[in-house]
């Protein structure tokens, strides 16, 4: 969200940003795993809310373009289910309308960011790319590693803390009869349960559910194998229901190392003194999709307001 929000704003202003994304698709933690064409899980962000006018306008455009929709699940516990927005066919498709017009290099893991007398050189698996201005919206832990020599950035982010999250992805042969589609709980290993197939636009043949473990349990059990984590979480998942579960069709677990923000930066971004390097992401303001948007958008505005305007990449594509 942060990276594409930034690139989109720059592109709308007439600039030509290039996005380097290590995965094969867009979304980041707006993530969807398709086990088969009828078994689909949003295993990262479950939904998001919209508070500020700029994000409202942005999300309304996505709803208009058909990639976002309101989700009103039946809730239990403290989950309320008001004004929840999701990707219409999957969280990872949410930003498809804006990604379409951007130059995104997929499968490009940036493993070096080196300062030059003018600008920067980015490295990805041995390939190099020149950039006037670099915006990084990767998790803060990776900023610590990748920009270790940028002291002003390191000082700014020193106190930021994030927490991991184990996610359970489970599908059933039959509909799980219960009185809720989502449940958030403050006690127990499982802090969130959602019937993924209750989201709009999902064409699930099987009843698909996602559960998240609480941050403490996730941290303590971070290095478990995925199989072991799935076993333990499934046992906890069963305890959340008064009824017997239908026959399990598929079960797996996903480890999010940098899932949620515990201590945010407290402002939309940090950077270096000459305005040629920016770091941002949800960890600047807190672990919400809207904060990721706000961070990326604010970085774009800072670039547009500066004298140091970026140009299209000097190296031919």
Give contact residues for ligand FAD (rule: CB under 6 A).
1-3, 20-23, 28-30, 44-48, 109-110, 137-139, 142, 165, 167, 212, 256, 259, 281-282, 287-289, 292
Least distance between ligand FAD and beta carbon 47 (Å)? 5
147 alpha carbon, distance to own chain's centre: 21
Residue 132 CB, shortest distance to ligand FAD, in Å, is: 18
- What contacts 182, CB < 8 A, 6 or more positions away? 46, 73, 74, 75, 76, 79, 81, 192, 193, 194, 195, 198
In this complex, which beta carbon is closest to ligand FAD, that of residue 39 or of residue 138? 138
Kindly state the smallest distance separating residue 287's Cβ from ligand FAD, in Å.
5
Nearer to ligand FAD, 73 or 139 (CB): 139
CB of 73 to ligand FAD, least distance (A): 12
Least Å distance, CB 87 to ligand FAD, is: 11
- The smaller minimum CB distance to ligand FAD, of residues 115 and 205, is found at 115
Shortest reach from residue 213's CB to ligand FAD, in Å: 9
Judged by beta carbon, residue 84 or residue 172, the one nearer ligand FAD is 84
- The nearer residue to ligand FAD, 271 or 281, going by C-beta atoms, is 281
The closest of 39, 40, 18 to 31, measured between CA atoms, is 40
Residue number of the CB atom closest to ligand FAD: 28
Cβ nearer to ligand FAD, comparing 139 with 310? 139
């Amino acid at each position: 969200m942060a990276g594409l929000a930034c690139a989109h704003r720059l592109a709308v202003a007439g600039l030509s940003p290039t996005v380097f994304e290590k995965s094969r698709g867009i979304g980041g933690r707006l993530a969807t795993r398709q086990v088969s064409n009828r078994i689909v899980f949003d295993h990262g962000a479950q939904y998001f809310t919209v508070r500020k006018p700029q994000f409202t306008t942005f999300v309304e455009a996505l709803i208009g373009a058909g990639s976002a929709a309101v989700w009103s699940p039946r809730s239990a516990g403290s989950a309320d289910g008001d004004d929840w927005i999701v990707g219409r066919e999957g969280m990872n498709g949410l930003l498809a309308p804006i990604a379409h017009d951007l130059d995104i290099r997929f499968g490009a893991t940036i493993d070096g960011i080196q300062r030059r007398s003018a600008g920067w050189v980015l490295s990805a698996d041995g390939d190099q790319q020149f950039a006037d201005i670099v915006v990084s919206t990767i998790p803060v832990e990776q900023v610590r590693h990748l920009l270790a020599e940028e002291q002003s950035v390191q000082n700014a982010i020193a106190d930021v803390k994030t927490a991991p999250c184990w996610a359970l992805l489970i599908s059933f042969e039959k509909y799980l009869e219960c009185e809720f589609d989502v449940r958030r709980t403050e006690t127990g290993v499982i802090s969130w349960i959602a019937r993924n197939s209750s989201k709009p636009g999902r064409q699930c043949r099987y009843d698909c559910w996602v559960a998240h473990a609480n941050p403490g349990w996730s941290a303590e059990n971070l290095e478990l194998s995925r199989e072991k984590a799935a076993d333990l979480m499934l046992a906890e998942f069963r305890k959340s229901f008064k009824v017997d579960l239908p026959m399990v069709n598929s079960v797996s677990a996903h480890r999010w190392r940098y899932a949620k923000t515990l201590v945010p930066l407290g402002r939309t971004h940090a950077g270096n003194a000459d305005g040629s390097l920016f770091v941002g992401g949800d960890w600047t303001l807190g672990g919400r999709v809207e904060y990721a948007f706000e961070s990326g958008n604010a970085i774009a505005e800072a670039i547009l307001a500066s004298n140091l305007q970026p140009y299209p990449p000097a190296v031919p594509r």
